[in-house]
Structure 1
Amino acid sequence: MAPKRTPAAAAAAAAASSTGPVPAPFPQAVPTLSSGPKTLTTNSSILDIAHTVWQQYLATTPQRTLILDAFMAFLVLVGGVQFVYCVLAGNYPFNAFLSGFSAAVGQFVLTASLRMQTSSPSPSPSSAASGKKAKKSASSADEGGAVSHERAFADYVFGSLILHFFCINFIN
């Protein structure tokens, strides 16, 4: 069913059909935004490439992974500040520097491990498989190293507690 016309639209359509075509309110040469991703050529500048990669990263990366990446960037910043401070101001309490720097590096490694484990889709048993097939597919998933997101986070927290326990004890 066609949409109903208002009386004003009907009068405008009747006037347009009797007097000829009505010019469009906007010129036809107005560029429209493309909905697809920007394509790069072999002559693209480094800034265009970096911008395209950044936009694709923001568009396709899940929120959980973005948060982990931001925390990893923060850890790199903390480790860098500690190293620069050690170079400029000296390293008199060397145990404190080693402990703090090791905590930043160790936490970065643990976070990278968590990111690798949670960036892949979580394992789910196939509902179509039954009996021996389901048991075989579940054991093959365990052999492949697939870990649930909750288990990966629990391992991350446990590893972080052990790391920080040793770092605090190393300070004396």
Structure 2
Amino acid sequence: MPPRKSPNAIAFPAKVIDRSTSAQPIKSTSTTASSSQQPAIRSLQDAQNILINVWNNYVAQTPQRTKLLDAFLAFLAVVGALQFVYCVIAGNYPFNAFLSGFSACVGQFVLTVSLRIQTNPNNKADFESISHERAFADFVFGSMILHFFCVNFIN
């Protein structure tokens, strides 16, 4: 028959801690906390290294025109997010104005992505018959139509 444990004892897989002898310091032999932090730190460093490599490749290999389009896309995303946050916080009293402004941001984003795809040198095989000038002219024409409808929608 196994020895009987005191009612104040808590059983752990590695040892038994007796609450009745609280005057003595308890040493932990378990290193699960420190060993579980190591993979988390390592995976965080791996993620940072991946992001740094992606950024360095983007800066080194992306043409300046494409970087300019990407900056404009980031600007449009920020403006659209700010409009949405403002609508949530302050309300959407002139709903037509919010809808028109947000639609203009989303539509301009889509048109800019289309221009980026058509002018990207990596996609040259897909768009052989479309010159960069033609793609830009389509972008300007589409932008004019988009903003015409957005301005008319405001009233």
Report the TM-score range of the alignment, normalised by the length of the smaller protein.
0.5 to 0.7
Cα deviation for residue 121 of structure 1 reads: 6.3
Change (3 A) 1:144 1:55: closer
Q: Which residue of 2 aligns with 1:167?
A: 150
Q: Determine which structure has the larger helix proportion and give its number.
A: 2
Q: Does 1:58 align with 2:59?
A: yes
Find the residue that maps to 1:146 and give its secondary structure. Answer: coil
Pick closer, same or farther for the CA change 1:150–1:121 going to 2, 3 Å: farther
Render the CA deviation track for 1:142-171: whole Å, top value 9, x for unaligned: x96631000000000000000000000000
2:16 aligned residue: none
Q: TM-score, normalised by structure 2?
A: 0.68
**2:132 paired with 1:149:** yes
**For residues 122 and 131 of structure 2, what CA distance do their matches in structure 1 show?**
9
Counterpart of 2:141?
A: 158
The two structures, once aligned, show a CA RMSD in angstroms of: 2.2
| Equivalenced residues, count | 113
1:122 deviates by 8.8
Query: Secondary structure at 2:104's aligned position in 1?
Result: helix
How far is the alpha carbon of 1:45 from its aligned partner? Answer: 1.3
Cα separation, 1, equivalents of 2:54 and 2:152 = 43
* Deviation string, structure 1 residues 70-117 (Cα, Å, up to 9, x no partner): 000000000000000000000000000000000000000000000000
Relative distance call for 1:70 and 1:121 in structure 2 (3 A) is same
- Give the conservation status (yes or no) of the 8 Å contact 2:77–2:105: yes
* Structure 2 residues not aligned, in runs of 5+: 1-41
**Deviant stretches of 4+, over 6 Å:** none
Aligned counterpart, 2:77: 76
Instruction: In structure 1, list runs of 5 or more residues that go unmatched.
Output: 1-41, 124-140
- For the residues of structure 1 that align with 2:123 and 2:106, how far apart are their CA atoms? 27
Given the superposition, is the C-alpha separation of residues 115 and 93 from structure 1 closer, same or farther in structure 2, using an over 3 Å criterion? Answer: same
> Partner of 1:135 in structure 2?
none
Residue type of the partner of 1:169? N
**Matched-pair identity in %:** 66
SS in 1 for 2:130: coil
